[in-house]
Structure 1
């Protein structure tokens, strides 16, 4: 019975997310352990009874300096309208404090072709896997080009077509580099990690870890900066 209920939830969640804009809310406090390992940081997020997960920021696509005092972790889908709206709201906050904020990005496609949690793929998410893989491939091949590529995928109300997304990726890192990166095990590994975290949180996207809380969904009527100041180290 439990597996059946879980399967039904992941069929219903994307539909509800498309039909009813999710409200921004907080859940239980998240305990974060920050360790310095040689030249890298390792973050451990404790989610209570749900479990915990570890992140070495340098292994993930990210925006901002790795040594920034404020760290956010974001689960999102390039084809998710609420994710795109949150990204647009985050951008001016990050640009104002470029050296103060690190945003670790974990693309989480709402598409059954690359996520075992999604049973029914909605029309607006049909290219979610392609866009997520392209973004991860760009980061894998040339991390210095990732920020420009991520913003390209996120600009506007709708994502670019897979053809335009691939063409821009090729212009940034080259056709051969892109093809090699797309075949690398890193792509599947990162999608598996984001999918597992999505399963643990069990909430509509976007999901934003602030360091002390989890913000689920996004409501554009709420002042995101005020929320982040309340639930993170952002000044």
Structure 2
């Protein structure tokens, strides 16, 4: 996982509350666990005018001209601004995969669904919770200012607007540490590799039959003789 420290990014607004994970990535696309290739189907039912299916050439599909991701002014956006309870519904990890694959690195909302919120950190994205009034003002500024960008600094837990205004946000210290250092669950486990190896070696010395793959010992394990 790539570390996240700072980002200066274009903002795209999705002005809807209670956006569930099936809206973020519809269920028919959940046929892969590769984490990539989902970006073109992000918000598929809102983004396109036909029903999407896996394997389609999205470049020739009819697009909804009223949806923000299809607006030229928001192309290349890496910050998603949205409303309360974003990411509700099923806990599918494909939802953050689709956002990340599209290029989103920061999400700003008044609240997020709990499981989705945690999945964002595990996939290298920063979900930021701000009060409703601050989110509303950001929506107004995005609408009024083509090319509206924000500077996000995880180390100082701050957002800087184009006008120089600073907004503060809170992040759990452990999640902040993991994101700053690019540590997902596997990387966290590997930080204790020496301890794990020491434990395995001590167990091998105490219970060698578990690690002995000879036919005789395998038969003993199956018969339970090692535990008599």
TM-score, length-scaled by structure 2? 0.26
Q: Normalised by the size of structure 1, how large is the TM-score?
A: 0.25
Larger helix proportion of the pair: 1
Which has the larger Rg?
2
Instruction: Tell me which of the two structures has the higher relative contact order, counting C-alpha pairs closer than 8 angstroms and 6 or more residues apart.
Output: 1
